[in-house]
Amino acid sequence: MELFSRRFRTFVLLLAPCLFLAGMLYLQGQTRPAAADAAIPAAAADWGLSFQTEGQPPIGNAAQEELAQYNACYLGDTEKKVIYLTFDCGYENGCTEPILDALKKHNAPAAFFVVGNMIESAPDIVRRMAAEGHIVGNHTYHHPDMSAISDPEAFQKELDALAALYEKTVGQPLPNYYRPPQGKFSTENLKQAQAMGYKTVFWSLAYVDWCTDDQPTAEQAYAKLLPRIHDGAIVLLHSTSKTNAAILDELLTKWEDMGYTFASLDQLPA
């Protein structure tokens, strides 16, 4: 019975992130009234999007103007046909290097938000990210729900531990970009990250690419990523996705054919 209980708990822990993120993407696909003045939720919230018009930026559950006061954003320059590529990196499974190869081929800068396990298990790949001019951002050391951490010291420790490990591994300071694990955030989190000198970066386009045992086909990926691309898009992809590794070269070509160029987070509007 004890063995069954341990296996059940392990199953739940592995399944929970997929269920949570699938639900988040479901909510992002729902239509709600446009609210350009959407305020940051008073309590902890999950980052979500509403796509109103094909080819146009979605509406976040906090407005760009509201986020800006905490040095946070989910969109880039919406006056230009530019895309900001970002990847969340929890661990290495053989997909990151093909992704880096495609980015190099297209001379496309990207940001990789890494956790402690990624740096510890694949230091050479993380060093390659930095060497090839990509931003490596802070996705926390352990990938917890940061909105559930009320103690400022515990919040800071998650970010500082990752930054220290990166500097020790790569030999240079970690760039000051932060992405909350699972998109969970609160006003207090935004204030804390800002006080530490970080820019919090959400996203304006993502798709269900994280469940490694249930990867979308190339056609399914294109069906989400092509119609919903928009000027100033901050795109979230996962570096563990075999689909992303297989299609990124062609995906970047398709976006280029649509007139888009790629920019670094360092080029985000002030």
Q: What is the mean pLDDT of residues 164-171?
A: 98
Catalytic residue check, 238: yes
pLDDT of 75-96, one tens digit each? 999 999 999 999 999 999 999 9
pLDDT of 41-59, one tens digit each? 766 789 999 999 999 999 9
Catalytic choice (134, 139, 143, 238): 238
Catalytic residue check, 106: no
Residue 23 has pLDDT above 60, yes or no: no
Cβ-contact 106, 130 below 8 angstroms? no
Residue 39's pLDDT band, with cuts at 50, 70 and 90, is: confident
Q: Does 70-267 carry CATH code 3.20.20.370?
A: yes
Comparing C-alpha atoms, which of 172, 119, 108, 122 is closest to residue 142? 119
Distance CA 136, CA 58 (A): 26
Helix, strand, coil percentages in the chain from 3-state DSSP, rounded to 5: 45, 15, 40
Q: 262 - beta bridge partners?
A: 83
Helical segments of the chain, H only: 2-28, 64-68, 96-105, 116-121, 123-131, 152-170, 187-195, 218-225, 242-257
Catalytic choice (46, 88, 209, 231): 88
Residue 22 has pLDDT above 60, yes or no: no
Residue 37's pLDDT band, with cuts at 50, 70 and 90, is: low
Q: What is the mean pLDDT of residues 114-122?
A: 98
**Radius of gyration, CA atoms only, the chain:** 18
Q: Provide the whole-model pTM.
A: 0.87
What b/e readout covers 11-44, taking b as 16+ CB neighbours within 10 angstroms?
eeeeeeeeeebeebbeebeeeeeeeeebebeeeb
Domain ranges across the chain = 1-30, 70-267
Using the structure block, give the residue that is written with the tokens 């986020």. Answer: 67
